[in-house]
Copies of this chain bind each other. A is one copy, B any other.
Amino acid sequence: MVTVHDVARAAGVSISTVSRALAMPERVAESTRTRVVLAAQELGYRPNSAASRLRAGRTGAVGFVVPDLENPYFASLTKGAQARARACGYAVLVADTGEDPELEVELVTGMGPQIDGLVLCSPRAAERDLDAVGAVPLVLVNRELGVRPSVTANDVSGMRQAVEHLRALGHRCVAYVGGPARSWSDARRRAGLDQAVRELPDVRAVQLGAFRPHVAGGHAAADLVVASGATAVVAYNDLVAIGLIERLRARGLDVPRDLSVVGWDDTFVATLASPELTSVGADLPALGAVATDVVLESVRRSRRSGAGAADAAGADGESGGQVRVPVELVVRASTGIAP
């Protein structure tokens, strides 16, 4: 293994200079820096991350915790996040909670010492459990919690777009098939739906749920939707929408002739379904990348100020970044003229 000592010897400088030349290039003379960099390259020097982590207290890794990797929504998020993290020189520790709030807390606290920052997607855990993390900068995706940094999709706007689209097709009663009870996004969408029907008095809403965010959830919800008298339904996500369609078809109903279905997240499965799903969604890899940016920014800030994550977030006026990304309704074949 080639160490700073080897590079130092090769470049004819001390190990301190090597360390500086690589970590803070502006603190060392131009000529020495090139000499060091060249020597390092020549010898194939790779800093021992354990040592630098031990000394400097940084790990060079961020955690990325999702409820379910097999869910295409989180798969896309993860893909975007790891690509961005890598581009910034960070490794990504991925963990899957299996939708279990307890495991979520356990994972988050357990990962703590191994990472510089953590992105927590669609957290189901109670607020106080998340507060307990504290140690590393934490960024929430799809949930806002006080002034904590977060990245969320604009669900309210998405729901508005969906309702307006359906209304334009002549629908006057829209059902919403909701997801996990503890889901913050779900609550936002319900709020968005409330707001939309308040402002569009000729449309009525029926809220159903909680259902599991999988195909099975759609199966379970379909009959309730039919019984509700709604002519259109917005699903918690694309998988639920597909489950709905499957069950409706099994009952002899046609989508979109008898019922229009709107998916959510616009994952790639939206185009696999038949009919292809009209769906509300953001650019998911981009969303994952943004979350990574925010957490890395948070890391840098907390490192500069030397304070804990919470302090760093609250210290300056930026409030640590609460990003809300736009969403867009993509119209495909699963929505049509109201019967």
Contact = CB atoms under 8 A, between A and B. Distances in A.
Interface of A: 46, 48-51, 53-54, 59-61, 68-70, 72, 75-76, 78-79, 82-83, 86, 91-96, 98, 107, 111-114, 215, 242, 268-269, 271-274
A93 B86 CA distance: 11
Q: Tell me the dominant secondary structure on chain A's binding face.
A: helix
B272 A215 contact: yes
Given A50-B54, A70-B75, A269-B269, A95 B113 contact: no
Contacts of A107: 86
B82 A111 contact: no
A169 to B, nearest CB: 23
Given A61-B114, A79-B96, 15 more contacts: A46-B113, A48-B54, A49-B114, A54-B54, A60-B114, A69-B76, A82-B94, A86-B107, A91-B93, A91-B95, A92-B95, A93-B93, A269-B272, A273-B274, A274-B274
Contacts of A274: 273-274
Contacts of A49: 113-114
A133 to B, nearest CB: 14
Highest count of chain B CB atoms <10 Å: which of A54, A69, A76: A69
Given A50-B50, A113-B49, A274-B274, A95 B79 contact: no
12 contacts: A46-B112, A49-B114, A50-B53, A61-B93, A70-B268, A75-B75, A79-B96, A82-B95, A86-B107, A93-B93, A215-B271, A272-B272
A96 B72 contact: no
A83 B269 CA distance: 25
B70 A82 contact: no
Query: Which 3 residue pairs across A and B have the least CB separation, nearest first?
Result: A50-B53, A50-B54, A69-B79
Given A54-B48, A94-B82, A272 B271 contact: no
A43 to B, nearest CB: 15
A94 to B, nearest CB: 4
Given A48-B54, A51-B54, A72-B72, A94 B78 contact: yes
A48 B114 CA distance: 8
A271 B70 CA distance: 14
Among A59, A98, A269, A271, residue most surrounded by chain B Cβ atoms (within 10 Å): A269
A82 B69 CA distance: 10
A263 B75 CA distance: 21
Contacts of A111: 91
Contacts of A86: 95, 107
Nearest to A51: B54
